[in-house]
Structure 1
Amino acid sequence: MQETRLDTARIRAARRVIDPIFLDTPLYRCEALEPALGCTVSIKLETANPVRSFKARGTEVVANLLADSGSRAAVCASAGNLGQALAWSGRGRGIDVTVVASRFATVTKLDRIRALGARLELVDGDHEMARERAAAIAQYDGIRLVEDSLDIETCEGAATIGLELMETAPAFDTVLIALGGGALATGVGHVVKTLAPEAEVICIQPLGAPAMTHSWRQRRVVTTDSTNTIADGVAGRYPIPAVLSDLLLVADDAVLVQESSIIAGMRLLLTHAGLVVEPSAALGIAAILEDPDRFAGRHVVTIVCGSNVDVDAYHRWVGAAPIHRS
């Protein structure tokens, strides 16, 4: 494999600075899902931690570096999960955290950012406008701007998931990874392709937020004017060139799925796995539902990456149709 920005030795070192509460998350075969999906399915559950997403693996690495350098403040833009994670990691190390988010972000996520002690600033636009505002704050105040996926620490923190897959999973054929900014996909993809190059790495985005997938397919940055998806955690419009370069080296495919499939995936995870997940976390199941022949007979690992949902919205989505039991 050609070289990505990531380094396997640094990824191994990252495990030593990440709070163990975020490491060694459950990984298990979910046989109850298999009749509905037609393949062997293992779940890597990245929701069983204090911020209910994988993001703290990366923010732990960032916050540790900031603390070591004497930095006492940081700012980020977030749809909710990164903000919670940075607030949690910063709080434990005496770092003042500011999070910029869209006022249309999931209320539950915004409430948790506040509860974790971060200063929250809301903008009237989408996540890209939040990124611009966060950059302005960082420049004006002279503090660290934490940029998810661009900052290598966020990718290498996420990559520790890949190490755990390699060490504990029985042999698997395919890993399905939600694709947003790219930290999770490039991080896990780097480790998988380094240690098990025969395994297939497939990234999944919603049809309503396809910028990174279009960029991967065309091998150049493709932006979109807007997004339209319930999967707010992956709803970016401006792919980062360096992240795309990494993704091109580690992803075997990037696919787009419909909103109805995302909802069906959430419903299956609730019904057959007892898991309440946010839309981004159901993208892997959605991909299997849309192309079952592709995965038939395979052993597939899907990373369930977050469970921060608005309860009312979740009930509207998952309760909108009867649950069909296998």
Structure 2
Amino acid sequence: MPKTRLDLARIRAARQVIDPVFLDTPLYRCEALEPDLGCAVSVKLETANPVRSFKGRGTELVASGLAENGSRAVVCASAGNLGQALAWSGRGRGLYVTVVASRFAPAAKLDRIRALGAELELVDGDFDMARERAAAIAERDGVRLVEDSLDVETCEGAATIGLELVDAGPFDAVLIALGGGAMATGVGHVLKARAPGVEVICVQPGGAPAMTLSWRRRQVVTTDSTDTIADGVAGRRPIPAVLDDLLLVADDAVLVRDASIIAGMRLLFDHAGLVVEPSAALGVAAILEDPDRFAGRHVVTIVCGGNVDVDAYHRWIGATPLPPIREVDHGPESHGRVSP
């Protein structure tokens, strides 16, 4: 495999460091979804853990390394899930954790960060503004800044999902929510190394397309704003090193509408009994928008998070779902600019 920051031996070793509570999450074929989706669908349920997202796999590696080196404090920016995970992992190792987040993040995620003992600082902006503030705190206090996706531990922790998928296969394709890229690059790396015939398809909201546009152009594309209910993947500024890793492993990157995300959340609730946040329904949304592509295939969708604002959730799934809509071509010239 061409040069990448990820290492398969380290990913295998990560399973010995990560608390087993985050490992071997449920993976099962969900036949109840199949009449609506037109293909065989297996669900990898990354909400069945104490922080209700896959992020704990990566923060376990980060916190373990910090504790071994004698560090006592750490800071991160978060849309909500990383902050919870780092707070959980840090608490168990005696680390003082500061999380910077947008005050517009779902209240349930912010409340849980506080409940897990982290210091929470809010900014009047989006995730990228929170990232800038977290970097300033790290420099001021001389503490470790954890940057999701940039820090290879977050990618290699997520990559352990890929080991579990390979052991349970075979599958034809895996649908992975794409935000900063930790899960997509980590899982993709394992699949390309161990099961190269599996198609790796990344899915992102059309209202937050920066990483997908970057993948399509093979260079970093930034956007001025985001407009999507999928707050967990709503970044504007892709990290160049992460894009380099993604280009090696992703077979495709697609954009979907928020209406399809909502329809996917409704299907997961009605037919699988799952309460998921919008980012976790991206894979189902991709199937809804392009059913012919997946017809007759066995597809895995990674349900990556279940931390959702209850009021918003009821508004979304209480509405009458729209009929499936084929993907609109959010082409490489839409909504983005190429970074110099």
Q: TM-score, normalised by structure 1?
A: 0.98
1:175-254 counterparts in 2 under 5 A? 175-254=174-253
Q: CA deviation at 1:221?
A: 0.1
Which residue number corresponds to residue 119 of structure 1?
119
Distance (Å, rounded) in 1 between the aligned partners of 2:312 and 2:214: 30
Q: Is the 8 A contact 1:271 1:323 kept in 2?
A: no
1:257-296 counterparts in 2 under 5 A? 257-296=256-295
Distance (Å, rounded) in 1 between the aligned partners of 2:32 and 2:15: 32
Q: Match of 1:54, as an amino acid?
A: F
Distance (Å, rounded) in 2 between the aligned partners of 1:196 and 1:296: 21
Runs of 4+ aligned structure 1 residues displaced above 6 Å come to: none
| Residue-by-residue CA offset, 1:8-47 (whole Å, 9 max, x unaligned) | 0000111100000000000000000001001000000000
Report SS of the residue matched to 2:221.
coil
Q: Unaligned regions of 5+ residues in structure 1, if any?
A: none
1:142 aligns with 2:105: no
| Residue-by-residue CA offset, 1:244-281 (whole Å, 9 max, x unaligned) | 00000000000000010000000000001000000000
Report SS of the residue matched to 1:315.
helix
Report SS of the residue matched to 2:261.
helix
Which residue number corresponds to residue 2 of structure 2?
2
Which residue number corresponds to residue 154 of structure 1?
154
Distance (Å, rounded) in 2 between the aligned partners of 1:75 and 1:90: 10
Distance (Å, rounded) in 1 between the aligned partners of 2:99 and 2:266: 31
Distance (Å, rounded) in 1 between the aligned partners of 2:38 and 2:210: 30
Which residue number corresponds to residue 316 of structure 1?
315
Distance (Å, rounded) in 2 between the aligned partners of 1:248 and 1:322: 34
| Residue-by-residue CA offset, 1:104-156 (whole Å, 9 max, x unaligned) | 00000000000000000000011000000000000000000000000000000
Q: Is the 8 A contact 2:31 2:41 kept in 1?
A: yes
1:21-170 counterparts in 2 under 5 A? 21-169=21-169
| Residue-by-residue CA offset, 1:289-312 (whole Å, 9 max, x unaligned) | 000000000000000000000000
Q: Match of 1:236, as an amino acid?
A: G
Q: TM-score, normalised by structure 2?
A: 0.94
Distance (Å, rounded) in 2 between the aligned partners of 1:305 and 1:259: 17
Q: Match of 1:258, as an amino acid?
A: R
Distance (Å, rounded) in 1 between the aligned partners of 2:205 and 2:194: 29
Which residue number corresponds to residue 303 of structure 1?
302
Q: CA deviation at 1:3?
A: 2.6
Q: Is the 8 A contact 2:259 2:322 kept in 1?
A: no
Distance (Å, rounded) in 1 between the aligned partners of 2:167 and 2:290: 29
Which residue number corresponds to residue 17 of structure 2?
17
Q: Unaligned regions of 5+ residues in structure 2, if any?
A: 324-340
Distance (Å, rounded) in 2 between the aligned partners of 1:47 and 1:268: 17
Distance (Å, rounded) in 2 between the aligned partners of 1:209 and 1:49: 27
Farther off after superposition, 172-181 or 315-324: 315-324
Q: Is the 8 A contact 1:206 1:259 kept in 2?
A: yes
Q: CA deviation at 1:322?
A: 6.1
| Residue-by-residue CA offset, 1:21-80 (whole Å, 9 max, x unaligned) | 000000000000001001000000000000000000000000000000000100000010
Report SS of the residue matched to 1:66.
helix
Q: Match of 2:182, as an amino acid?
A: A
Q: Is the 8 A contact 2:263 2:322 kept in 1?
A: no
Q: Match of 1:201, as an amino acid?
A: V
Q: Is the 8 A contact 1:185 1:247 kept in 2?
A: yes
Distance (Å, rounded) in 2 between the aligned partners of 1:216 and 1:120: 33
Distance (Å, rounded) in 2 between the aligned partners of 1:23 and 1:296: 30
Distance (Å, rounded) in 2 between the aligned partners of 1:2 and 1:204: 23
Q: CA deviation at 1:2?
A: 1.6
Q: Is the 8 A contact 1:179 1:212 kept in 2?
A: yes
| Paired-residue identity, % | 82
Distance (Å, rounded) in 1 between the aligned partners of 2:12 and 2:129: 34
Distance (Å, rounded) in 1 between the aligned partners of 2:74 and 2:239: 20
Report SS of the residue matched to 1:229.
coil
Q: CA deviation at 1:323?
A: 9.7
Distance (Å, rounded) in 2 between the aligned partners of 1:301 and 1:4: 25
Distance (Å, rounded) in 1 between the aligned partners of 2:244 and 2:322: 41
Q: CA deviation at 1:168?
A: 2.0
